Amino acid sequence: MSRKKIIAGNWKMNIKPSETAALVKGVAEATKDFAGVDIVCCTPAIDIPAAVAAAAGTRVEIGAENAHWEEKGAFTGEISTGMLIDAGAKYVIIGHSERRQYFGETDETVNRRTRAVIASGLTAIVCVGETLEEREAGKLNEVIERQMNVGLKDVTAADCAKLVIAYEPVWAIGTGKTATPDQAQEVHALIRETLAKLVGAETAETVRIQYGGSMKPSNAAELLAKKDIDGGLIGGAALKAEDFAGIIAAAAQA
């Protein structure tokens, strides 16, 4: 099964609207020869219009960093999938560990958001991953299986066309510590096995699983060479067009 590689940047809370066009255009320009890789910039909601305008006519697609499960109503501060679609976004990151850690995101709210995103026609990038404490306590498998089973409850095989999963070990995010390619592959295989139990093995083979956590041009190739690593979700290195393009170049050769 050959899955198209997907490299997505997660800008987090880092780039202003006035800085957005330059970064998106820089990425588009530096990666125009790398057909065969899906390229996504997930930006703060307020940057999306500028990002979509800058990406027009290029292979770069734009995503959001979160979405609410209700279509509209009294939810101050939230953004709906309909608003994101209207603004031109195509992807939404759901359940990032920073949202779980700082904003009360749970596996149950991840599930509600994920189902709403997929139902809207946007593609959900659903994040899972263990903390260092959980890994050291021998709970890695249990945590990943729970995040998958609850987070993806009632997601069907047909829904998987609009699903990407990101494995982000919390201890590797923004720390400079990367999971070794073998460590990452082991968890990616577990994610695929767990998904197979939910939607069937054949469908699970089609779903792309990204690695995220201190991925950079110098370590991308060895991670992306692994059987079940189908792309990357990139934080720090997505904030400079040159670094992000270096990872996309590695994906184009993997």
Q: Interacting stretch for ligand 13P, rule CB under 6 A, among 107-115, 166-174, 184-192, 246-254?
A: 166-174
Q: Using CB under 6 A, pick the residue from 236, 247, 248, 250 that binds ligand 13P.
A: 236
Chain-centroid distance, C-alpha 128: 10
Distance of CA 135 to the CA centre of its chain: 21
Asked if residue 233 binds ligand 13P (CB under 6 A), the reply is yes
The piece of 116-124, 144-152, 230-238, 245-253 that touches ligand 13P (CB under 6 A) is: 230-238
Smallest separation (angstroms) from ligand 13P to the CB of 179: 11
Site for ligand 13P in 53-82 (CB under 6 A): none
List phi, psi (to 5°) of 167. -90, 115
If binding means CB under 6 A, how many residues of this protein chain bind ligand 13P? 14
Helix (H, G, I), strand (E, B) or coil at 5: strand
- Collapsing DSSP states into helix, strand and coil, what is residue 154? coil
- Which of the stretches 77-85, 106-114, 144-152, 228-236 binds ligand 13P when contact is defined by CB under 6 A? 228-236
Check 65, 96, 98, 105 and give the catalytic one: 96
- Least distance from ligand 13P to the Cβ atom of residue 71, Å: 26
* CB 123, min distance to ligand 13P, A: 15
DSSP, res 39: E
Q: Are 42 and 70 in contact (CB under 8 A)?
A: no
Q: What angle do CA 123, 7, 132 make, to 5 degrees?
A: 90
**DSSP bridge partners of 42:** 10, 63
Nearest residue (beta carbon) to ligand 13P: 235
Report if residue 254 touches ligand 13P, rule: CB under 6 A.
Answer: no
Q: Kindly report the CA angle at 36 between 124 and 19, in degrees rounded to 5? A: 60
Nearest Cα to 147, choosing from 132, 131, 133?
131
CA distances (Å), 6 to each of 73, 210, 214, 239, in order? 33, 7, 16, 17
Using the rule CB under 6 A, which residue among 174, 180, 197, 200 binds ligand 13P? Answer: 174
Instruction: Tell me whether residue 130 is one of the annotated catalytic residues.
Output: no
The answer to whether 108 is a known catalytic residue is no
Q: Residue 166: helix, strand or coil by DSSP?
A: strand
Q: Which of residues 190-219 bind ligand 13P (CB under 6 A)?
A: 212-215
> Which of 5, 7, 10, 116: binder of ligand 13P (CB under 6 A)?
10
Q: Which residues are catalytic?
A: 96, 168
Give contact residues for ligand 13P (rule: CB under 6 A).
Answer: 10, 96, 168, 173-174, 212-215, 233-237
